[in-house]
Structure 1
């Protein structure tokens, strides 16, 4: 591995999905940190409108139902940004402006919020805890983000009761458990945000679903180091839809092939077993029904980012990095514990140690990649080149978007 350098990039960005009550992604909050702040900061509106639109496109575009869509972006604003009237004329149907919880509520602020609301922007109150001083803002806001982290179920219910007189959409943020998600859903919350999707939903007495069992069997077979080209071909061609999707993605521009491949065996011979196993795993994850599309999307981004970071830091053999990234969260697709899953999958000890204990160079890159994607930049190793991670993240967003389009088309 190349010698590490301490390089601080001026701006770091990541995104966090916002779901509706069907767990469909309907927006992204853009997480942002500038070089002069160790904590998350507000979005930088410097630069031309065209530049800002390109940035928003890069961080909020996804393929859904065979169409490229730009999701609405939730952006944090400071008091100064609000009252100085310096916001560019962004498309109002694509932007939700978040007012931070510690902002001073005065006449200037209220006048500015009213002006933005009249221009057509949606207003959200962030990390909201009810207080009478916020009543003027509650009368103008359309979305209230209730921070449920650290709250009991009863405390969340009490917040909802106080907000009933206002015509607002409730968004529960920082949800970490499926129990809290269900409680918020029952209370009438319409939007949801948090890490609960990345954890398996463990229900006592429940059985593994057929789609999950199929995914597990495919993952087991794909990671078998003794699998031959013919074994891999037999596994894939058992499912015509699986075969069709695999050939579509193999023939996509992502692989830069000179001519079209029309058989699984030919694809294996040209790309190699390692590369084919990777693509087959991707399709198996995306074909797993019953889980929100955002979960495999995040795992694709994580896996590809691990591989790109490894390449960027000078590692020659990066074959296991994408697998490590994807397998570190695939247990949430199967609703089983991570250790239990890894005991059933014939992964190398290097990959298992990286996932379970964060050991070795692979473990360090996986650790940093996960925290970068969550916007927890302060949790990354202190000596990483953040430019490499930022470039890899942005490239991985685009790659995952294109790959999912190839499979879903």
Structure 2
């Protein structure tokens, strides 16, 4: 009998973390779900090669939409790479809850833009992560339901960044809301949704 070899590069049911996303008036809107290492710690996935990031995303999606008990009961924001946008990797059935959060390293070539249009037609929602007005991000804006902006980038670039992000009607999500003063600033800037440690840190889920 030939033994089955399991690649150590493909995780199985690794822990994930959940961080809440709130409306500006304090109602829970959804959660971002994040990859965690086997010991439940942040893994700095954004520094990995794209193929390893693919595996991390697949692991999170498996926990959320696989055969286990449901984890996401509202909008579930999950970081995705190019492979998931151009059909190189499968996406789960989503029941209208899955928000594909396009990481900032994705290049907006024709295949990606076609993929965004196709996925929206299939009912997936699209978010642009860490929006800083980079040309590739601006090219994806017509397909975005959400644009996420780091509060630190608003401080660096000014309110014009928020105005640009709103151009195509997407809901704006403030990221890294770190203190109560920033909550009030985000409301003044006109953000629709807020995410950050002062409103609820990312918590690794048991099991």
Question: Shorter-chain-normalised TM-score: which range?
Answer: 0.7 to 0.9
Q: Which runs of 5+ in 2 are unaligned?
A: 1-10, 46-52
Aligned to 1:64: none
Answering whether residue 95 of structure 2 is matched by residue 95 of structure 1, we say no
Identify if the C-alpha distance between structure 1 residues 173 and 49 changes in structure 2 by more than 3 Å, giving closer, same or farther.
closer
Identify if the C-alpha distance between structure 1 residues 49 and 173 changes in structure 2 by more than 3 Å, giving closer, same or farther.
closer
Identify if the C-alpha distance between structure 1 residues 88 and 134 changes in structure 2 by more than 3 Å, giving closer, same or farther.
closer
Q: 1:14 Cα shift? A: 0.7
For the aligned residue pairs, the C-alpha RMSD in angstroms reads 3.0
SS of aligned partner of 1:128 = coil
Which has the larger Rg? 1
Q: 1:151 Cα shift? A: 4.5
List aligned pairs for 1:113-152, cutoff 5 A.
113-149=116-152, 151-152=154-155
Q: Which string of whole-angstrom CA distances, capped at 9 and with x for unpartnered residues, describes residues 234-258 of structure 1?
A: xxxxxxxxxxxxxxxxxxxxxxxxx
Aligned to 1:39: 44
C-alpha contact 1:49 1:88 (8 A) present in aligned 2 = no
Q: Distance in 2 between matches of 1:53 and 1:190?
A: 33
Aligned to 2:68: 54
Select the residue among 28, 45, 51 that pairs with 1:25.
28
Q: 1:46 Cα shift? A: 8.9
Q: 1:82 Cα shift? A: 1.8
Q: Which runs of 5+ in 1 are unaligned?
A: 1-9, 61-69, 199-372, 376-389, 396-409
List aligned pairs for 1:124-203, cutoff 5 A.
124-149=127-152, 151-152=154-155, 155-197=157-199
Identify if the C-alpha distance between structure 1 residues 25 and 122 changes in structure 2 by more than 3 Å, giving closer, same or farther.
same
SS of aligned partner of 1:394 = coil
Q: Distance in 1 between matches of 2:133 and 2:178?
A: 21
Q: 1:45 Cα shift? A: 5.4
SS of aligned partner of 2:104 = coil
Answering whether residue 87 of structure 2 is matched by residue 73 of structure 1, we say no
Considering fraction of residues, name the structure with more helix: 1
C-alpha contact 2:17 2:36 (8 A) present in aligned 1 = no
Considering fraction of residues, name the structure with more strand: 2
C-alpha contact 1:148 1:156 (8 A) present in aligned 2 = no
Q: 1:73 Cα shift? A: 0.7
List aligned pairs for 1:253-402, cutoff 5 A.
374=202, 393-394=205-206
Identify if the C-alpha distance between structure 1 residues 121 and 133 changes in structure 2 by more than 3 Å, giving closer, same or farther.
same
Q: Distance in 1 between matches of 2:158 and 2:34?
A: 25
Answering whether residue 113 of structure 2 is matched by residue 110 of structure 1, we say yes
Q: 1:33 Cα shift? A: 3.3
Q: Given the two structures, how large is their TM-score scaled by the length of structure 2?
A: 0.76
Q: Given the two structures, how large is their TM-score scaled by the length of structure 1?
A: 0.40
Structure with more contact order per residue of length (Cα contacts < 8 Å, sep ≥ 6): 2
Point out 4+ residue stretches in structure 1 off by more than 3 angstroms.
45-51
Q: Which string of whole-angstrom CA distances, capped at 9 and with x for unpartnered residues, describes residues 332-386 of structure 1?
A: xxxxxxxxxxxxxxxxxxxxxxxxxxxxxxxxxxxxxxxxx736xxxxxxxxxxx
C-alpha contact 1:45 1:87 (8 A) present in aligned 2 = no
